Amino acid sequence: MLFDLSITKLLVLGVIAVVIFGPDQLPRIASQAGRALRELRRLADGATRDLREGLGPEFSEFDVADLNPRNFVRKHLLDGFDDEPVAEPEPVMAESGAVLAPEENPPYDLEAT
């Protein structure tokens, strides 16, 4: 999500907007903001469409979201880490020669301290 707006934050923004613009101007400003957002979305969609057409059929599976640095790093640098096999740790041997369980601590040796 682009902005993390809760109900309380939206209410505070609404009160601030009423105080700054007044209740008679607020509907006109809200409709202008809505038109501006629709126009921005239309421009972004057009730029994406032009980019896809300009790249040609060789890049038909190209996803514009991959240009986001966070997605790029996740896809190209971090994808392989989950698939790599983790090496099994070598079993720890107690002095008696018994193999210890992975969570088990070796016995405490009073003479060693």
Q: What is the pLDDT of residues 71-103, one digit of tens each?
A: 878 877 776 665 555 566 665 555 566 666 777
Round to whole Å and give the CA distance between 13 and 3: 13
> What local confidence, expressed as pLDDT, does residue 1 receive?
44
Looking at the 3D structure of the chain, how many domains does it have?
1
Residue 16, domain extent: 12-83
Q: Is 75 within a domain? A: yes
Q: What is the pTM of this model?
A: 0.47
Q: Is 110 within a domain? A: no
pLDDT band at residue 110 using 50, 70 and 90 as cut-offs: low
Question: Which residues are registered as beta bridge partners of 99?
Answer: 93
